Amino acid sequence: MASSSTTFDYSSLKELLKDSNAEVLLPNDGQAYEKSIERWSEHCIKRAAAVVMVTSADDVSATLAQIRKHNISFTVRGGGHSTSGAASIEDGIVIDLSKMRKVTVDTQAKTVTAEGGTIWEDVDVEAAKYGLATVGGTVNHTGVGGLTLGGGYGYLTGKYGLTIDNLLSVQIVLASGEQVIASSTSNEDLFWAVCGAGQNFGVVTAFTFQAYDQKNQVFAGPLVFLPDKIPQIVEFANKFHKVNDGNQAMLMAFSAPPPANVPVVLCQLFYNGPEDEATAFFSDLYELGPIANMAAMIPYEKLNSLLNQGAGFDGRKQFGGGAFKLPLDPSLVVQIHAEFNAFVASHERMNGSMMLFEIIPYKKVIEVPNAKTSFANRGDYYNVATMFKWFNPAIDSEIRTFSRSLLKKTSETVASRSTDRGVGQYGNYATADVEANEIFGANVKRLEELKHKYDPDNLFRHGNRLIPRPLVVVN
């Protein structure tokens, strides 16, 4: 498909889509338009020629028909959390799903169906009304669509696997405008592709997840330490790796949060059980003497809001990802912290940045072979991420370079990457310059063949990596 037509009159979309329920916002539509192009990261804000606020799969099909007819560049916005810019476009059209936030719970089947524009708060709150939960993210204003289509790790991953491992079906609008259901029994090859690379294949307008009983509260919250406790915290992490049973998780983060701007180590705890068991399990950390303790029993639906303050909607942001194995060498982590902290301290207004070691048990994740879904990051390792936050556009490239360097050192030094047990690169944390084979590994060939089957003209190309390749049969 050609790039956006320079002669297309975007104001005509209002007339062209008048028979749908979609709302078309143009740059002269004032605050409504300005609100529609807001993103979690300020450097991802782009001035689209039009934003189409869809309310149904039919609206999506109607919009795609005009996109195909007039050769218009476009992208799709779910929660707007991408730091790669995939949910924004300069000129062109944004298909905005944010009006599609209905969540339906089937208490008999214990399933949750969420429309394509839902955020995890919508799912968590509605499911909790029925004593249920499913595997979501760790920040509840993240979009369900983006996290799910890229794999999805959360606090319940240790017990139930990835978000895609609990995805039962999707309703998806293809490049042709056709609306289909994909599941393990219907359009199976498409469902395989959706589970890890879904953004490349269409607009998912509904997700149905398996849910589980979660009537009891959980123990969760941060313990805050000064950096001199890093060696002992790492020793606990090494022990945690061996003794967890899937009902626990820990996120270890380096930061220097405002207003104090003092370097600290945050240990975000999670224990799916009673407080006495939780404090006993994490007793080694309590004995270190945290300078702040905010861990307590809370309803599950509040769990994914605990990190919201550190993930607010201001500033420029960039995620980068890698992997690490346990046990970790404490001296390595001390060195990495020193480099991270020195870089943050040397730049103005960068104290909202964070480096995150996600110690989320992987045993359930690796029970599923890498070839079972398109998601190829299943291995005996954990994710590590940088989340830099800054305000000066002049240092964008400097931050990208430093983030890559730090993550490479973390990943390579602990020898986390392997060819047979996962790629060591979580797609949802990957920067825009990461190649498809680095994310999808051995699955990339089949994905590109399926891309040719379902999107031969590469309509869904903005911010995506897959290129359609026809299946070649050798006689």
Render pLDDT for 43-54 as a digit per residue (tens, 0 to 9).
Answer: 778 899 999 999
439 belongs to a structural domain: no
Identify the weakest region by mean pLDDT among 56-65, 101-110, 299-308: 299-308
Higher pLDDT pick, 79 / 243: 243
**Count of domains in the chain?**
3
Domain, as residue range, for 155: 103-213
Q: What integer is the mean pLDDT of 236-256?
A: 96
pLDDT band at 415; cut points 50, 70, 90: low
Is the pLDDT confidence value at 458 over 50?
yes
Identify the weakest region by mean pLDDT among 46-50, 109-113, 439-443: 46-50
pLDDT band at 260; cut points 50, 70, 90: confident
Whether residue 247 is found in the same domain as residue 303? yes
Q: Quick one: pLDDT at residue 475?
A: 43
Identify the weakest region by mean pLDDT among 45-54, 200-209, 285-294, 415-424: 415-424
42 belongs to a structural domain: yes
pLDDT band at 98; cut points 50, 70, 90: very high
CATH number of 160's domain? 3.30.465.10
Is the pLDDT confidence value at 87 over 90?
no
Is the pLDDT confidence value at 115 over 80?
yes
Q: What integer is the mean pLDDT of 170-192?
A: 99
401 belongs to a structural domain: yes
299 belongs to a structural domain: yes
466 belongs to a structural domain: no
Whether residue 83 is found in the same domain as residue 121? no
Is the pLDDT confidence value at 275 over 90?
yes
472 belongs to a structural domain: no
170 belongs to a structural domain: yes
pLDDT band at 417; cut points 50, 70, 90: very low
CATH number of 30's domain? 3.30.43.10
Q: Give residue-wise pLDDT tens across range 187-200.
A: 999 999 999 999 99
Whether residue 291 is found in the same domain as residue 419? yes
1 belongs to a structural domain: no
Whether residue 354 is found in the same domain as residue 386? yes
Whether residue 235 is found in the same domain as residue 382? yes
Is the pLDDT confidence value at 3 over 70?
no
SS (HEC) of the chain: CCCCCCCCCHHHHHHHCCCCCCEEECHHHCHHHHHHCCCCCHHHCCCCCEEEECCCHHHHHHHHHHHHHHCCCEEEECCCCCCCCCCCCCCCEEEECCCCCCEEEECCCCEEEEECCCEHHHHHHHHHCCCEECCCCCCCCCEHHHHHHCCCCCCCHHHHCCCHHHEEEEEEECCCCCEEEEECCCCHHHHHHHHHHHHHCCEEEEEEEECEECCCCEEEEEEEECHHHHHHHHHHHHHHHHHCCCCEEEEEEEECCCCCCCCEEEEEEEECCCHHHHHHHCHHHHCCCCCEECCEEECHHHHCCCCCHHHCCCCEEEEEEEEECCCCCHHHHHHHHHHHHHHHHCCCCCCCCEEEEEECCCCCHHHCCCCCCCCCCCCCCEEEEEEEEECCHHHHHHHHHHHHHHHHHHHHHCCCCCCCCCCCCCHHHCCCCCCHHHHHHHHHHHHHHHHHHHCCCCCCCCCCCCCCCCCCCCC
Q: Quick one: pLDDT at residue 4?
A: 47
pLDDT band at 257; cut points 50, 70, 90: confident
Is the pLDDT confidence value at 59 over 90?
yes
Whether residue 296 is found in the same domain as residue 413? yes
Q: Quick one: pLDDT at residue 1?
A: 41
Average pLDDT across the chain, whole number: 92
Portion of the chain with pLDDT greater than 90, in percent: 80
Is the pLDDT confidence value at 91 over 90?
no
Whether residue 351 is found in the same domain as residue 267? yes
